[in-house]
Structure formats: C-alpha cells, structure tokens
Structure 1
Amino acid sequence: MNDITPEIRKLFLKYNGDIKTLLQENPNVDYLYALSDIRENLLEWYEFDQNASLLQVGSDYGALTGLYSRRVKEVTVLDPNDNDLSFNRLRNQKQENIRYVAGELEAFEEEGFDYVVMVGSLKAPYEQQIQKAKSLLKPEGKLILALCNRLGLKYQAGAIPDQVRLSRAEVLELLCGAEGNRGKAEFYYPMPDYRSAMALYSDHYLPGKGDLTHAILAYDYPKYLRFDLGKMYDEVCEGKQFETFANSFLTIWSRHEEN
C-alpha cells in the first residue's frame, strides 16, 4: 500500500473521525483498506488473553490497533514512520493502553510479549525478521503473521500482489524450519484476502466444490479478469488444493504443539 498518511490524516480531521462518511464520500480502495472496520474481521474472532501484552509490528494506519487495545491489557505499536504513528495515535486517542514506539523491529530490544503481530508488515530478510519476532515472545507466546500468497488465484487473475508474497510451503518453513520441528503453525485462509476478510477457512474447515463458485470479489480485482475465478475455485477445491492457491494466509505460531 502506498504511504497515504498525510491525505488520510487531513480527511480524518475534516470528517471529525467519522470514517463511515469519509469512505462514502471519498471512494478509494487505499482509504478503504486503511480505515474500514472490515480490517478487524481478520482477528475479531480470535480469543486473545485479556491480561496479555501485545506488540504490533507496523502501524498500518491503526487499522487493527483499536481491536488489539480492546482485547488485551497492553499494546505496543512499533513503526519507523513517525507520521504513521502520529495518525494511529490520533485515530485511537481514546484508548489509554497503547504505547507508540518509533523504530525498526531489528533494533527493538524489549522482550516478554504474549503476542507479536505482523499483519502485512513482514520485510526482507524474512528469516531474520521472524527470528527477531520470536525472540521478543514469552516462552508460551504466539506469533501472528498475515501475508499475501504468491500463488493466490486472485493474483493469477490479474490483481496486483503485495511486495512481500510467499507460498504456504515457504511460510511453513520460515516459521517451523525445513524439518518442521520449530514449534507449531496453525494456518487460516481469509477470503478474499487478509485485508478484507469476509470468510475465514482453516485446515480443519476447507471450502468444497461449489462453496466459492460465486467467490467474494475483492475490492482491488482488476476490471477484466484473466479467467473465471468461480470456476477456477471449483477446480481447486475439488482437487483439494485450496490451501495452495488461497489468496493470503493468517498463521498463528507457538513454540508448543498446542495453539
């Protein structure tokens, strides 16, 4: 997503924080992803420990910060961009349990978090970032990661993918190692993607043929698709390959087998 913080801030102040009216009168997919409450669908269902501490890596216009602050005791937002942090602080000014820190993940030294959350904020080198994030967790802590799938049907149909995009196999190896013995990763598949989750599947509940025939359209699909997405989803689901071709992943990793 482009850095639209200055214009977002200007609009937010113009509409006195009325995001619904702002989006109605300023139709723009970047504004939607930055401000809409649909962003919270990704983790609204998750049962966070209300006494926990959470590190949010990447401010992301405060799209999920409010949700975290309502669900856990303490939230720390880490981002190198002061403007992003400033807007997040403005957006969530009524929440008193949020702390804002300017800096990069690699240089962050605090430890002992119950959750470290990286939603669309993973950067290269990936292995170094993941290991750093894990080092900040308590022994029983959880790393929550969401990112774009390089093999997602949405992108094969012509939608523009994120700069960071990995396959399911790459994410699994990144989190658990080539031998799969570095903790446990639970995979979820938000549809149509992690920024606009309208449905959420998991390895325990996958869509079958017909479930995605009329696939939920993403807001950033191109005007003309390269193929019939509904038909292709049917083929993928019937062939039991949905996990491979889902548009994005939400993973919850812990050092222990239980998640």
Structure 2
Amino acid sequence: MYYTYYNGTDEYSNGDIEDELLNIVKNNKEYDKTINETDSFAVFYHLSKNREFITEVMDISKNDSVLEIGSGCGEITGALAREAKEVTCIDLSKRRSLINAYKNRDNDNIKIYVGNYQDIKLDNRFDVITLIGVFEYSLYYMQDNDPFESMLISCMEKLNENGRLYIAIENRLGAKYFSGCKEDHVGKEFVGIEGYPGAIKARTFSCYER
C-alpha cells in the first residue's frame, strides 16, 4: 500500500457496508461460505468471483504488467494478478484499498496506490490498462475541457507499444433505467436516458456514443 498521494479523505464510498467487508476479508478467506450465509447484495457484489470472468476476454500473459485504475475492493484484482506478472492498482479510497489488500494478501505481485489517478506519478509504462466501472468518473479524475478524451489520452500515454486498454462501462440506456430504476451514479430516475441534464459527477454512455 502506498499513501504518498492520499489526501486523508476517502472521496468515494459505499458507506458502512465497507466496514463489514473489511472485517470479513480480515478474518477469513471463505468468501463463498460468507456469501451463502447472508442476503446482502453488497457482500455478494464485492466478494463473489463472478465479476472475475471479465478478465477472460482480456489478452494478458504472464509477462505483462497491468495498471488497474479504480481497483475498488479488489473485485477483479486477484484475477488480474493470477494472469499477469504484476498489477499496479489505483483507487481513491483507503478503506476500499485495504479491503483489496486483505482480500488479495496471498498475491505478492500487487501494488496499491491510494489517491486520485491524476495526481499519482508513475514512471513506468504498462502492457495492459483496465478501466472497469471507472471511465464514467473521468469528470472527477480529469479537470479538463473534455475529461473523457483526456482520460483516454492519459491512458494511451502509459501503454507500452502494442499495449491494450480495456474499458467496461454501464449502458446509460440499460433496460432497468427505462423500467424506472434510479441511475446508479446519480441516484435519480431517467437521468441517463435524458442525457444527464444539469451538473453531474459521473455519466455513462450508450454503445453508439464516443
């Protein structure tokens, strides 16, 4: 864990559930058993191995270095570490990064930096960079006229020749939003469908955008 760029405040949080998650990963490794014993979706969401399947479509070899931007509680960090030579994680939250560190403590090829991506200085380049559920927060990460373009350029500059950038983002036109579910990042109904009117901190896209 590296705290050089941490400002002392967790600028992103899912609330008190993160304390429960930290307690779980500190005291046991039988996450499947824990998931089966609770009806908490948050516990399932953060500790289930189901989300690791996303790495199966990624071209990653044992010689690759990976930069995981927005590593969160380590939902896919372990899968990346098993595939790659080394994984460098960046996340805004100290508490979420601690969950990641405890969850993946058996892997010796993981580094975790706590802080804003834009502030963290990394001299090396990477073979693979992942933006999983993170690109929508470029409005926060990148203080520029076009933060989404700036984020992409920044990532491309950190890639080795023939490096790969993987982006996974929610669809703002998802069926659940048409059914009246609140937009996950804004917490209001139909905001994404309407094109995010007003001031926002995050936005998603449809598959035809950008």
Query: Normalising TM by the smaller chain, what interval?
Result: 0.7 to 0.9
Residue 140 of structure 1 aligns to which amino acid in structure 2? Answer: N
Deviations, residues 15-72 of structure 1 (Å, cap 9, x unaligned)? x121111111111222111110001112234331220100001122111000000001
Question: Which whole-Å CA distance do the structure 2 matches of 1:127 and 1:162 have between them?
Answer: 23
Q: Secondary structure at the match of 2:118?
A: helix
In the alignment, is residue 141 of structure 1 matched against residue 163 of structure 2?
A: yes
Flag structure 1 segments of 5+ consecutive residues without an equivalent.
Answer: 174-259
Q: Which residue of 2 aligns with 1:103?
A: 115
Q: 2:206 — aligned with what?
A: 167
Amino acid at match of 1:104: N
Q: Which residue of 2 is the match for residue 82 of structure 1?
A: 94
Secondary structure of the residue aligned to 2:87 is: strand
Counterparts of 1:73 and 1:32, CA distance in 2: 28
Structure 2 equivalent of residue 131 of structure 1: 153
Matched with 2:200 is none
- Asked if the contact 1:155/1:161 (under 8 Å) is kept, the reply is yes
The answer for the alignment partner of 2:49 in structure 1 is 37
Tell me how large the CA RMSD over aligned residues is: 1.8
SS at match of 2:128: strand
| Alpha-carbon displacement from aligned partner over 1:185-209 (angstroms, at most 9, x marks no partner) | xxxxxxxxxxxxxxxxxxxxxxxxx
Offset from partner CA, 1:109-159 (integer Å, 9 cap, x none): 324111110110121132222222222111311111111111122321234
% identical equivalent positions: 29
The aligned runs of 1:242-257 (5 Å cut-off) are none
Q: Is the partner of 1:30 in helix, strand or coil?
A: helix
- Asked whether the equivalents of residues 44 and 67 of structure 1 are also in contact (C-alpha less than 8 Å), the reply is no
Separation in structure 2 between the aligned mates of residue 26 and residue 104 of structure 1, nearest angstrom: 33
* Number of the residue aligned with 1:65: 77
Say whether residues 1:56 and 2:60 are aligned partners.
no
For the Cα contact (< 8 Å) 1:51–1:72, is it kept in 2? yes
Larger Rg: 1
Matched residue, 2:40: 28
Counterpart of 1:112 in structure 2 is 125
TM-score, with structure 1 as normaliser: 0.61
1:203 alignment counterpart: none
- For residues 64-108 of structure 1, give each alpha carbon's deviation from its aligned partner in whole angstroms, at most 9, with x where no partner exists: 000000001010011121111111111101101001111211123
1:167 partner letter: S
For 2:192, the equivalent position in structure 1 comes to none
Question: Which segments of structure 1 move beyond 4 Å, counting only runs of 4 or more?
Answer: none
TM-score (normalizing by structure 2): 0.74
Cα distance in structure 1, aligned partners of 2:26 and 2:34: 10
Amino acid at match of 1:18: E
Partner secondary structure for residue 180 of structure 2: coil
Q: Find the aligned partners of 2:153 and 2:32 in 1 and give their Cα distance.
A: 39
Say which structure is richer in strand. Answer: 1
2:103 corresponds to: 91
Contact 2:129 / 2:166 at 8 angstroms: preserved in 1?
yes
Whether the 8 Å contact between 1:12 and 1:22 is mirrored in structure 2 is no
